[in-house]
Amino acid sequence: MLFSHFGVQSRILPNGIAIPPTDRVSKYDGNGDKNRILFLGRLHPIKQPHLFVQLAAMLPEYHFVMCGMLYSEGPYSYYSQQVLHKAQQLSNLEVVGVVPPDAVWHYLGQTAILVNTSKSEGFPNAFLEAWAWGVPVISLNVDPGGVMSKDGLGIKCETIENMATEIERLMNSRVMRANLAYAVKSYVKTNHNIENIATRLKAFAAG
């Protein structure tokens, strides 16, 4: 449309993200806080956080952390409250609530796996944030652009039972964690480094 109306060729740039200075490849060592399994997202039906709660109940030996906005009013408030109520019954599930953008890194730096239970999404920023820290993603439905399957950047599952199995398999395999961590960090550095994106944007703007 730009070309047909203005003679300008459009270009597509991927989302950019700052790359953390630390060169971590694996967070889980079997003790302390480093076995955290993280959920980042609103407590909204499309995100299906109730399935994350279900996973925590299925895997009581691991520490699950839920970060996201709780709806206190409106059409989703009842659902949010139900999810919160069930989550509070589990001793291995920590409900944090809303996390400011500048604090997300704190949680990712102590996380072994990011879990995505959404019905559908575009390209979640949470994936890029996790990958920048070398944190692998286990996803129920979302595989943005097919990169997880095509480039080996994570594990896409079909059922909640399969997710539980894959979480256990990943937590119990240092080699698998290290390989995935290296792959996702390399992908982000190559394709989404904010400094490289900014340089390309300046070049496009300069013509």
Query: Taking the mean position of all CA atoms in its chain, how far away is CA 7?
Result: 39
pLDDT value of residue 74: 86
pLDDT at 72 over 60: yes
Angle between helices 160-171 and 49-58 in degrees, nearest 10: 60
Kindly indicate the confidence band of residue 7, based on its pLDDT and cuts at 50, 70 and 90: low
pLDDT at 200 over 80: no
pLDDT value of residue 50: 97
State the chain's mean pLDDT as an integer.
83
Q: Class for domain 24-190, per CATH?
A: alpha beta
pLDDT value of residue 28: 47
DSSP string, 40-57: ES-S-GGG-HHHHHHHHH
pLDDT value of residue 81: 93
* N- to C-terminal Cα separation, the chain: 18
Contact (CB, 8 A) for 62 and 91: no
Q: What is the pTM of this model?
A: 0.85
pLDDT at 19 over 80: no
Contact (CB, 8 A) for 168 and 155: no
Rounded percentage of the chain residues whose pLDDT exceeds 90: 42
- pLDDT tens, position by position, 100-119: 888 888 888 889 999 999 99
pLDDT value of residue 100: 87
- pLDDT tens, position by position, 131-186: 998 899 999 999 888 888 888 888 999 899 999 999 999 999 888 888 898 899 88
Please give the average per-residue pLDDT across 19-36, as a whole number: 56
pLDDT at 83 over 80: yes
